[in-house]
Amino acid sequence: MLTLYHATNSVCSQKARLVLAEKNLPWTSALVDLGKGEQFSPTYLALNPEAVVPTLVDGDLAIRESSLVLEYVDEVGEGPRLMPLDKAARVATKLWLIRTLAIHDAVNSLSFASYIGAMVHQHRNAEEIEADLSRLPNPQVPAKRRDLFANGARSVFVEGAIGVMSAVFRDMEDALMGSAYFTGSSYGLADLALTAYVDRMANLGFEGFWAGRYDRVGPWLDRMRSRPSHETAIGQYLDTELLGFMSEQGGKIWSEIAPHLDVAPNHRKSA
Ligand SMILES: N[C@@H](CCC(=O)N[C@@H](CS)C(=O)NCC(=O)O)C(=O)O
């Protein structure tokens, strides 16, 4: 039996739960409460030294990195493969999976500049925040978080995130030209991997990245949200209070984001 170490509202955990739902595989849930610092327990660090979720455990194999989890579950699960068989579609899928590292970093910056930052400041004082940051194994992460906590939407990381996501939505629109899915005529791993990030952007009230600019992204998100896997993997873990908080906090920084949407290199509106 597979065991998934995951957190309720983490985008990478959502990806892992989505693939388990799409492949209809049974799994044991091991929730890791990031707010309580459970990711730093010696038991969890032995599975995932980066102290991040998700980790999928299959026997004595611990799989870290959500994109690897997607590929692994797709391979071990029965039923139609979510990794396309067509060579070009497979390359395109792998490129999107690699790109999710940058997308994750950008969505993480936008989340910390808005609702996560607000949540942390509601529950922790400055000393506690520093103590939390000092436990993070990757020294680049505290530097980034300090900047986001101090500068919010004016952080250089938000500026970078806007550029990354502007280019991502432009390329999504191009990929959706002529097909309902990112890598061909059927739902695949690229659609699955991107769902959690676009869903988070919409929950933060950042639909302006695509609405009125790229006509195919909104309907694609609606299609992803109408799949039963969305409720199983994402919807049931989000309560209305949290959704309200996310959109309220996202709304507070949107006016600082919107004027910069065209900073993506080679930005162009699709015909
Ligand atoms: N590249 C990793 C990123 C994992 C990651 O950063 N996970 C976040 C949640 S989405 C996390 O565990 N953060 C821990 C923390 O904020 O302390 C993956 O895709 O699995």
Report the nearest atom of ligand 1 relative to the CA of 12: 10
- Does 266 score more than 90 pLDDT? no
pLDDT of residue 108: 98
**CA nearest ligand 1 atom 6, residue:** 52
The overall average pLDDT reported for the chain is: 95
pLDDT at residue 80, as a whole number: 85
Q: How far is the CA of 11 from the centre of ligand 1 (A)?
A: 8
CB 269 within 8 A of CB 213: yes
pLDDT band per the 50, 70, 90 thresholds, residue 69: very high
**15 Cα nearest atom in ligand 1:** 19
Ligand 1 center–CA 65 separation, angstroms = 8
Q: Which contiguous run of DSSP H or E holds residue 212?
A: none
Tens-place pLDDT, residues 125-140: 999 999 999 999 999 9
> What's residue 192's pLDDT?
98
Please name each of the domains of the chain with its CATH number.
2-76 (3.40.30.10), 87-263 (1.20.1050)
Q: What is the pLDDT of residue 9?
A: 95
Q: Which of 53, 120, 145, 199 to mutate to test the pocket of ligand 1 (most atoms within 8 A of CB)?
A: 53
42-61 confidence digits (pLDDT tens): 999 999 999 999 999 999 99
Average pLDDT over residues 226-243: 97
For a ligand 1 pocket test, name from 6, 13, 104 the mutation site with the most ligand atoms within 8 angstroms of its C-beta: 104
Establish whether residue 202 lines the binding site of ligand 1, counting it when its CB lies within 6 angstroms of any ligand atom: no
Residue 75 — very low, low, confident or very high, per pLDDT cuts 50/70/90? very high
Ligand 1 centroid, distance to 170 Cα (angstroms) = 25
**Residue 79, pLDDT above cutoff 90:** no
Note the pLDDT of residue 271. 38
